[in-house]
């Protein structure tokens, strides 16, 4: 089974109903071709990293789906390319780590600190202990059947539930492979929900700058102008091209000659 994620940016002038119809059209197209849609998420209106068709913002939507064969990808990309409502789109094939990350994100395990996860697990254990019924207090089934009581709705007997084993939280990719991002900066980005190269490339330099400034004043000197482009190379697996470009960068920043 192949797993994909297609993210597209729609024209911001679309109304809510028009956006729903657009999403439904592509969802129906995938379903008709035998694909199974695992998640459809409306990210909402976001600022663009650079103007597209004289627009500075767009409506982001992400559809995750699985299929036995990948022939649907060229078809849906052709439809997106011809659709005047769509300004940009990106299709990514997900490996098992990407599928696991998306599942953890939907269940709320992503974006929480380690202490928060530990507190929630402790709370669950305490709740399970409180619902346990001692064996000695349980009424034997045969004896209970012989006792006749006045008609009423009996309270359900609580049976012990085995303690849940916390599922491991999916670790983020190594963001320090992006030139200009150090361990401390990577930690701040992961805490903000940017845990993959795909997420990083969808962020504008201003968005990243705001995250860094809000987390630690010591990171305000960093220039994230090239991070989104570097992340695009990484997300597409174009490591040789990324390495070649990084050789031309200066600490993650474009050289003066390149800027010109």
Residue 132: the pLDDT is 64
129-139 pLDDT, tens digit per residue, is 776 655 555 55
From the list 103, 99, 89, 106, the residue with the least C-alpha distance to 7 is 89
Which CATH number describes the domain made up of 175-252?
Answer: 1.10.150
- The CB density around residue 19, as the number of other CB atoms within 10 Å, is 18
Q: Where are the domains of the chain?
A: 2-104, 175-252
Nearest 10 degrees: Cα torsion 19, 21, 27, 33: -140
Q: Is 164 helix (H, G, I), strand (E, B) or coil?
A: coil
DSSP states of 106-117 as a string? Answer: HTT-TT--HHHH
Could you say which of 3.30.70.60, 3.90.110.10, 2.60.40.1760, 3.90.1170.50 is the CATH number of the domain covering 2-104?
A: 3.30.70.60
Q: Is the pLDDT of residue 76 over 70?
A: yes
Residue 146: the pLDDT is 47
24-56 pLDDT, tens digit per residue, is 999 999 999 899 999 999 999 999 999 998 999
133-173 pLDDT, tens digit per residue, is 555 555 554 444 444 554 566 555 555 555 544 444 445 68
Residue 125: the pLDDT is 84
From the list 164, 101, 155, the residue with the least C-alpha distance to 127 is 164
């Amino acid at each position: 089974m192949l797993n994909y994620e297609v993210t597209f940016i729609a024209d911001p002038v679309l109304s809510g109903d028009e956006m729903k119809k657009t999403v439904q059209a592509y969802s129906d197209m995938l379903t008709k071709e035998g694909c199974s849609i695992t998640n459809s998420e409306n990210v909402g209106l976001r600022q663009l990293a650079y103007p597209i068709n004289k627009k500075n913002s767009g409506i982001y939507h992400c559809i995750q789906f699985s299929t036995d064969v990948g022939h649907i990808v060229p078809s849906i990309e052709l439809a997106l390319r011809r659709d005047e409502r769509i300004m940009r789109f990106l299709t990514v094939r997900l490996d098992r780590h990407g599928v696991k990350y998306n599942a953890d994100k939907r269940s709320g395990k992503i974006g929480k600190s380690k202490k928060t996860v530990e507190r929630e697990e402790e709370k669950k254990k305490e709740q399970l202990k409180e619902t346990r019924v001692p064996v000695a207090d349980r009424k034997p089934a045969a004896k209970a059947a012989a006792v006749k009581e006045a008609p009423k709705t009996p309270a359900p007997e609580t049976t012990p539930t085995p303690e849940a084993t916390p599922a491991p939280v999916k670790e983020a990719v190594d963001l320090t492979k992006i030139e200009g991002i150090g361990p401390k900066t990577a930690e701040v980005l992961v805490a903000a929900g940017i845990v993959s190269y795909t997420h990083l490339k969808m962020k504008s330099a201003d968005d990243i700058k705001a995250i860094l400034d809000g987390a630690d004043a010591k990171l305000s000197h960093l220039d994230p102008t090239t991070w989104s482009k570097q992340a695009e190379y990484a997300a597409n697996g174009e490591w040789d091209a990324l390495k070649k470009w990084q050789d031309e960068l200066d600490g993650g920043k474009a050289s003066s000659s390149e800027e010109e």
